[in-house]
Structure 1
Amino acid sequence: MINSSIYIKSQQEVFDVVIVGSGAGGGMAAHTLAKAGAKVCILEAGQPFDPADPKDMTQMKWPYESLRRGASSSLRNFGDFDAAYGGWDIEGEPYTRKEGTKFDWFRSRMVGGRTNHWGRISLRFGPDDFKRKSIDGLGDDWPIGYDDMKPYYDKVDQMIGVFGTNEGLRNDPDGYFLPPPKPRLHELMIKKANKALGIPTYPSRMSMLTKPINNERGSCFYCGQCNRGCSAYADFSSSSVLVKPAVQTGNTTLLPFAMAREVMTDPVTGLATGVSYVHTGTMMEYSVKGKIVVLAASAGETARLLLNSKSARFPNGIANSSGVVGKYINDSTGASRSAIIPSLFDRKRYNEDGVGGMHVYTPWWLDNKKLDFPRGYHIEYGGGMGMPNYGFGWGIEGLNGRENFNRDGIKKAAGGYGATLKEDYRRFYGAYVGFAGRGEPVPREDNYCEIDPNVVDKFGIPVLRFNYKWSDYEVKQAKHMQDTFEEIIHSMGGEALGKKPGAQDNYGLADPGRIIHEVGTARMGNDKNTSVLNSNCQAHDVKNLFVADAAPFVSQGDKNATWTILALSLRTSEYIIDQRKKGNL
C-alpha cells in the first residue's frame, strides 16, 4: 500500500524551488541549489532507483538469472538488466503523430531518468556548435557562445569525472580528463585502418571514473556493464551522483511517482506558484508550491507541461507568447553498420571487457564546404568479446545463408542449433565490429510537437502529437556515414553484414526519436518574439520559471547532449542563486 502522507505534507510547505524531473538537468539543479541552502522539491514521474540497492542492482548477473534470459520487455527496451525503466511505448501513456510523421518518443520512468542507462559519451559542444548560422546560414545562433559555457563545462568535468585526452581540437574542446582505458584489439585495428584512410581516431570521452575523485564514489572495475547502473557509483548517473547527495543535504524532498500536470500561476502577477501532479499509484492529484519552478522533465515533457499550463493570462500555454513552444524539436541523426573480421576468427580468449562502451571514437573531421550537406557527425565503435547473448553482437544472424567453411573444411551456413551453433559462436566470438554515426540535423520550425486535442493519457493529461520529417541534408549525411563505414570495414579486411542501406531506406537513417537525443522545444534567444527563454534559460514571460533540460537548445551539435545539459543547468542554477541574493527572484 502506498503511503501518501509525504505528498500531503508537501502541499503544506512552500519550497524555494520546485524541480520537475530528476535526470541530468534536474539532478544538477537540485544538487547545486540544495548545496547552496535552498529548500528544493523534486517531482519525478517514475520510481526510486539506486544501482547499489540490492532490490535495484542487476550488475554482474548472467542472462539466465532473468526469467526472459535477459531479453527486452515493454518497460525494458534494452534488455531485462538494463537500467532503463520506461520506453518508446508505455501502457496508458500514448503520444500521437500527424499523418506521414515518424517520431518515436522515449520516456524514462525512474529517478535519474535516462542517465541511468545512457552511453555516457560526454562531449562538450565546441565554438562552432553555438554559431552555426554564422557559419553556414542555416538555423539560428545561440545567444551564448563557448566562452560563456567553458567555466561550467570545466566544473562539470571536475565534479562528475570524465576520461579522455586533450588533443587541441578546435571544435571538440579540451577538458579536465581522467586517464582513458587502453584500446582493445578491435579498436587498435580500427585505429590502424582509419590512419590509412585519414580518419582521426582518439580516446573516447566518457563519464566513468578510471580513478577515484572523491570518497563517496568508487572507481571503475571494468565489468563493461555501465548500462545496468554502477553499484560502485563509478559511472555518472544523476540518481546516484546528483540526486542522492542533494537529498542527503536535508534540503531536498524527492517525490517519486509524481506525474506533473501543469505549472500553476498567480492570476494577478502571472508568476509561477508551483506544480500540480498526479500520483501514478493512487491516481490522486496533489500540488506543490514553490517560489521558483524549474522544468527539467526532458525536451518533450517540458514542452507538454508548458503547453498544458493554460490560463486566462496564458491561453496558449505558459511562457508561450511567442508561439515557439514545441517548435524546432530535433533529434540526432543516426545510421549504423556492422561487420565480421575474418582475421579475428577463432581468436584467443581473454578478458577485455573494459568500460561499458567504446574506448576510442572519431570526432567530425571534414570540411562541410566540400560536401553536399551541412553539419557533421561523430563515429562510435563497438565490438570485442562482450557477454555472450544469442543474436547480439557477432552478426551470426547476418551470416545465415552465407556459405562458410567449418574447421573440417566443410561448407555450411552459419548459425543453426545445438553443436553447430556452439561451434560457430566459438569461431566468430570476438570477430564482430560495429559502427554508428551520430550527427547534427538542421533545426526546422515545421518539426514540432503540440498538444493533441483529442487524446489524453491514463492520468487525464492531454498528450503530445508530433510532426517531424528529415530533410535532404540529414539523408545525405546518412549516406556519407554508410560510405565511410564501408571504407573502414574494407580497410580492416572485414566483410560488411547485410545489404548496404540505399536511397530507398534513407541510407539507414534512424527514424526521428530513435537516437533519444531530442532537443530544442523551448529554445533560448534574445528576442522574446522568436524564443521562449533568455540566455539564462529564464522564461521571457515568467521571470521565476526556468528550464534546465535540452529544451533550451537552439541546435543539436554533432555531440551527445548530456554534458551540455549538465553545464547549462549548472549555469542556470548559479544564476538563480545570484538573483535570489540580489532580491530579483
Structure 2
Amino acid sequence: MFQIKEQSPVYDVCIVGSGAGGGMAAKILAEAGLKIALMEAGPDFDPADPDSQTQLKWNYESPRRGASTPTRSFGDMDMAYGGWEIHGEPYTRKGDSEFDWFRSRMVGGRTNHWGRISLRFGPLDFKRKDFDGKGDNWPIGYEDIAPYYDKVDKLVGVYGTRENIPNEPDGYFLPPPKPRLHELYLKKGIKKLGIPVIPARKSVLTKRLNDSRGVCFYCQQCNRACNVYADFSSSSVLVKPAGETGNMDLYVDAMVREVLTDENGRATGVSYISRQDRQEYQIKSKVVVLAASACGTARIMLNSKSDRHPNGIGNSSGVLGHYLHDSTGASRSAILPELLDRTRYNEDGARGMHIYTPWWLNDKKDLEFTRGYHIEYGGGMYMPGYGVGFGMEHQNGRIPGKDGKMKKAGGYGLSFKEDVKRFYGAGIGFAGRGESVPQKDNYCEIDPDVVDQYGIPVLRFNYHWTKDEIMQAKHMQDTFEEIIHALGAVPNGEKPGADTNYGLEAPGRIIHEVGTTRMGTDKNTSVTNKYNQTHDVDNLFVMDGGVFVSQADKNPTWTILALAWRSSDYLIDELKKMNI
C-alpha cells in the first residue's frame, strides 16, 4: 500500500531528468533565480568522488576484471549505471518488433559515459522534406538554433577545426588532438577514394576554459567519467553549478510516475516513487519540465491520465509516443598489415576517434536510400582485452603468420602471447551512424498488462526498420569494403549480407532515440511548439530528444543542449511576462 506524501515548498520549476536536457535547464533556470526541484531516478554522482571513480584503475582491480554486469552494460569500469535490461524495470515489444531501450540511472544520465561526439545539425537537417519529400520539416531552421550552438560551444568546450562544409556547421573550437599512427594510415588511404576525413569534434577540453575544470591528460578513459571534469558530463558541468546557486534541490532515487494536474488540466507538479522506501511522494511546482529521455518522457506523459487528458497529458493529437526513431548503425573491422609487430609506446589522445568522415553525398540523387551517415574510426593501442580487440578472428580463425602463410590464431601459452604481441595495435574499425526516416508506425505505448517493481505501467515498443535504413546499411558495408581494399587491409570475417540486413544494428542499440514528443506548428500532428512547450498545457515543457522532428546523421546531444537552453530562455521570458 502506498502512502502519498506531499512535500513543500512549491517550486517554480520541477525538472525530471538530469542528463543533457535536464541538466541544461537546471543550470539556466537556477542561475536566473528560479527555485528548482531536479528529479533523478538513480543515485547522486560526482566524477571527482573517489568512492565512485574508476578512472586510472586497471581492469583487474575490478572483482569481475572489468566485465559487464546487469547494471553496467559496457563493463564494470564504465560509468553507466543502467543498461538495456534493468532488474525490476521491464519493457515489452509488440509482435515481431525490435527495440532495445537503454536507460541510465544516475545524476548526469548518459552524459557520464557517452562518446562525446559533439556535432551540430546543419541547415539541410532541419528541412529534409524539402530535399527528399519524406518525413516532415522542423518548425525551426538552423538560423534559429545557431546562437545556442555557439553558447553551448563556449560553455562546454568542443575541439575541432573549421572546414567550411555546407551541412557540417563550424563552431567555436578548441585545438583537436593530432591523429595517431593508425589514423594517419586511415586518412591517407581513405582520401584516395574521394571520401573526406576531418578532425573529430568532441566535447573534451584540450585547453583550459575556466578554473572549475581541468584539461584532458589523455588517459583515454572518458567512458569512466573524468575526475578533473575535462570532458563534458551534465553532472559536473551543469548540475553541479546549478546546485551551487542555492536555488536547486536535488531529489535522487526518485522514479517519477506521472505529471499531476488541476481541474483545468494544468500541471501542478509530479508524483514519484522513492526507490529507497517504496513510498509515493508529490512535488508541487508552477512549471514542469520533462527531460527523462525521449521514451522516458513519453512514458510519464502517457501515464498522466485525467479527465482533461484521457489519453495522457499533452496527447490531444494522438501522436505522443509516435515517430520514435534511432540512428542506424553498422560496423566492420580489419587488420592493417603495416601495423603488425608495432613498437609499444604510450599512444596519447582522447578516448575514441581523432578523425571522422562526415556525410559526403548530399548532392547524389541516385542512391538506394534517402538519408546519409557519418563514419567513425577506431583502432590503436588502447587498454587491451582478450579477443576481438587484437583482430585475430578473421579468415575463420586463421591469421597470417610471420612467414606470410595462414595459421590458426591464438591457442595457449607462448603461441598465444606471440599472436597478441604481433597483432596488438594493428586492428582498425569502421562504424557508420546514419539517419533513419521517422515513421508514425514506429512508436512506444503503455503496456496494459505489465508494471515495473514500483507499480508504474511500462512501455511497449512497436518498431521496424524500413528499406531506407537497410539499404543505407548496405552502402555502409560497401564503403567499408572499399576502404579496406584501398588500405591493403585484411578484413575480419565475411562482409555482412542481406540475411543480416547488412549488419544493421537493432533499433535502440545506438542509444540515439528521439521523436516521441515531436515539435511542430500544428497541434494536431505534434506535441510541442517550437520552444518545446506542449500545445495542450502551457506550463509543461519537454527538454530532451523527444522533441526532434528528425535525427540527422549526427549524434543528438549537442542539439538537445542547444534546444534546452533556448527553451529555458523562452520559459524565463514567458514567466516574466506572466504568460504562464
Q: What TM-score comes out, normalization by structure 1 length?
A: 0.97
- For 1:382, the equivalent position in structure 2 comes to 378
Counterpart-to-counterpart distance in 2, 1:343 and 1:117: 32
**Aligned residue for 2:44?**
48
- Matches of residues 200-215 of structure 1 in structure 2 within 5 Å? 200-215=196-211
Match of 1:3 in 2: none
Match of 1:339 in 2: 334
Q: 1:489 aligns with which of 475, 484, 488?
A: 484
Displacement of 1:401 in angstroms is 2.7
> Are 1:502 and 2:497 an aligned pair?
yes
Does residue 467 (structure 1) correspond to residue 462 (structure 2)? The answer is yes
Aligned counterpart, 1:58? 54
Q: Secondary structure at the match of 1:369?
A: coil
What CA distance in whole angstroms lies between the structure 1 residues aligned with 2:413 and 2:550?
51
* Residue-by-residue CA offset, 1:432-469 (whole Å, 9 max, x unaligned): 00100000000000000000000000000000000000
**What is the 5 A alignment of 1:114-263?**
114-263=110-259
C-alpha distance in 2, partners of 1:499/1:386? 25
Partner of 2:569: 574
Match of 1:362 among 353, 357, 366: 357
1:396-411 mapped onto 2 (5 Å cutoff): 396-398=392-394, 401-406=397-402
Partner letter of residue 217 of structure 2? F
**Cα deviation, residue 420, structure 1:** 1.4
* Pairwise CA distance, 1:410: 7.9
The residue number in structure 1 matching 2:531 is 536
Q: 1: distance between equivalents of 2:323 and 2:334? A: 36
**Structure 2 partner of 1:303:** 298
Consecutive unaligned residues in structure 2, runs of 5 or more = none
The amino acid across from 1:530 in the alignment is T
1:278 aligns with 2:259: no
Alignment of 1:5-84 (within 5 A): 11-84=7-80
How many residues get paired?
577
Whole-Å Cα distance in 2 between the matches of residues 162 and 272 of structure 1? 37
Cα distance 1:53–1:432, how it changes in 2: closer, same or farther (>3 A)?
Answer: same
Alignment correspondent of 2:519: 524
CA positional deviation for 1:394: 2.1
CA distance in 2, matches of 1:404, 1:211: 43
How much does 1:398 deviate?
3.8
Partners of 1:240 and 1:424 in 2: CA distance: 42
Residue among 105, 108, 111 paired with 2:104: 108
Alignment partners' CA distance in 2, 1:194 and 1:64: 37
Q: Is the 8 A contact 2:393 2:493 kept in 1?
A: no
**Could you tell me whether the CA contact under 8 Å between 1:353 and 1:385 is conserved in 2?**
no
CA shift for structure 1 position 368:
4.0
Q: Which whole-Å CA distance do the structure 1 matches of 2:230 and 2:5 have between them? A: 35
For 1:441 and 1:222, how far apart are their aligned partners in 2? 34
**Cα offset for 1:400?**
5.8
Q: 2: distance between equivalents of 1:405 and 1:382? A: 24
- Alpha-carbon distance in 2 for matches of 1:537, 1:449: 20
Q: Normalising to structure 2: TM-score of the pair? A: 0.98
Which of 254, 259, 264 lines up with 2:260 in the alignment?
264
Q: Which amino acid aligns with 1:184?
A: R
CA contact (8 A) 1:397 1:415 kept: no
* C-alpha separation in 2, matches of 1:256 and 1:40: 14
2-structure distance, mates of 1:309, 1:37: 29
Following superposition, which runs of at least 4 residues in structure 1 exceed 3 angstroms of deviation?
7-10, 397-400, 409-412
- Aligned AA for 2:373? Y
Whether 2:420 is the aligned partner of 1:433: answer: no
For 2:550 and 2:421, locate their aligned partners in 1 and report how far apart those are by CA, in whole Å. Answer: 45
1:388: how far off? 1.2
Unaligned 5+ runs, structure 1: 1-6
| C-alpha contact 2:122 2:166 (8 A) present in aligned 1 | yes
- Aligned-residue CA RMSD in angstroms? 1.4
> For each residue in 1:173-196, what CA deviation from the matched residue of structure 2 results, as whole angstroms up to 9, or x when unmatched?
010000000000111111111110
